[in-house]
A and B are shown apart, each in its own frame.
Chain A
Amino acid sequence: MPRVATSLSRCDRLGTIGARSGLTRNNYKVTPGLYCVGKPAETTPVLVTANYKLTFDALRRELAGLDAWILVVDTRGINVWCAAGKGTFSAEEVAFQVQRAQLDKLVSHRELILPQLSANGVAAREVKRLCGFKARFGPILAADLPEFLRTGQAGEAMRTVTFTLRERAVLVPLELCIVGKPLLIAGLLFFVLSGISPEFFSFSAAGSRGATLLLATLTAIVAGAALTPLLLPWIPFRQFWLKGAILGGIAAVLFTAGTTEAGMVENAALFLWITGCASYLAMNFTGSTPFTSLSGVAKEMRRGLPFQVVSAGLAAIFWLAGPFI
């Protein structure tokens, strides 16, 4: 039985950075099975969690000074809520891990404490039917577990999902890093598009105009993928593509004010490009929030996507036309 520490080592913290930035995120796993903290006995509560290491770390660091069994189920390295949504954090999987760990021989009680956010994947009554253990939904956050274990209750605040500035801020590095690869490909395209000139192809124009376009794109990324998530509740409108377009538009005005060598047509291209890109990136952030419904995202995409495609298309035409005017 592996006994785990309730404090994070330097290695764990480095791992957190890797996962949050997206570098190691897709393969940051804990081996499924039974773990413990402290010195658990047969009456000690069993906490169930996902095998994403960031999740596992968030749980164990809140258990300092406590005794507990931790049953890690195989969610393919995905966090609790997403895994439940995707169906990997399920009653079947919980029951399977209970049996595999022979939990009935280790504890005298027949109760599991599951994170509340696994409820969209786990039907509690199914767990009971499949393995005989009663599944009880604990609080949303691991931080509230000590109080829940002490009082046996989770109040309304513990059961309500939040999306604080801090909770949004930790998502930003991933939002930024995820655009890295497409940006490399786009950078090449910028270079080619920017070089097309009346004298067929100008390498100097490709370099200088391509760099301007790349900077404009970075501005759009900051506006759509960083500022929109951070300032989310304070930006007008509910649809994310509009929120992104507003911040993108403001960023574009500031950006084009600084590009003195570009003409009217080119500045129009830059404005449309930054606004459209920021709008798209903001729209993509819907997948990371805890309050946007899939129906709502599909609805706003039917409006946002045409806006973004037309903006980008016009931007390309104006940018190509620039050297010929």
Chain B
Amino acid sequence: MQDFRYLDNTAILRLTVEKCIGCGNCELVCPHRIFRVRDQKAEILDPNACMECGACSKNCPTNAIYVNPDDGCGCAAYIINSWIAKVRGKMPSGCGC
């Protein structure tokens, strides 16, 4: 995946090291392999490779990881719909994908 880099310093991914118990779930599930557990603590090796899929936080037993919780598939049509919905005060209707 080194051929594909997206915008730096944009993805919302936070690790609270104090809460980490070093179980290694995040390291296991991340499809971009950005975590590493060393000395019973996880560390983020490459934050800019994060795509906010949320697998790490979903499988973190101590809520030590926070990922942008907005769902949606990340296509422009969905975001436009959600912006329109926000203006009109309604729930987004999805994008059809």
Contacts and interface: CB of A to CB of B under 8 A. Distances in A.
Interface in B18-77: 25, 28-33, 49-55, 58-59, 61, 68, 70-77
A284 B58 contact: no
Interface residues of B, number: 40
B25 A291 contact: no
A232 B4 contact: yes
Contacts of A131: none
Contact of B59 (A124, A284, A291): A124
Given A291-B51, A294-B70, A296-B7, A284 B75 contact: yes
B15 interface: no
A290 B33 CA distance: 13
B31 to A, nearest CB: 4
A3 interface: no
Contacts of B29: 116, 119-120, 137
Nearest to A288: B75
B87 interface: no
B73 A117 contact: no
Contacts of B59: 119, 123-125
Contact of A85 (B28, B73, B79): B73
B1 A287 contact: no
A86 to B, nearest CB: 7
Given A120-B54, A238-B7, A289-B4, A294 B31 contact: no
Nearest to A164: B3
Given A124-B59, A301-B79, A116 B31 contact: yes
A299 B55 contact: no
A163 B31 contact: no
Contacts of B28: 137, 159
A283 to B, nearest CB: 5
A292 interface: yes
Contact of A294 (B5, B30, B68): B68
8 A-B pairs with the lowest CB-CB distances in the bound complex, closest first: A287-B75, A119-B55, A119-B29, A161-B31, A120-B55, A293-B11, A293-B52, A233-B3
Interface of B: 1, 3-7, 10-12, 25, 28-33, 49-55, 58-59, 61, 68, 70-80, 95, 97
Given A289-B4, A294-B72, A294-B79, 10 more contacts: A86-B71, A117-B31, A161-B32, A233-B4, A283-B76, A293-B7, A293-B50, A294-B68, A295-B12, A298-B79
22 contacts: A84-B55, A86-B71, A86-B73, A117-B55, A119-B55, A120-B54, A125-B59, A156-B33, A162-B1, A163-B3, A283-B76, A285-B75, A286-B75, A287-B95, A290-B31, A294-B68, A294-B72, A296-B11, A297-B74, A297-B76, A298-B79, A301-B80
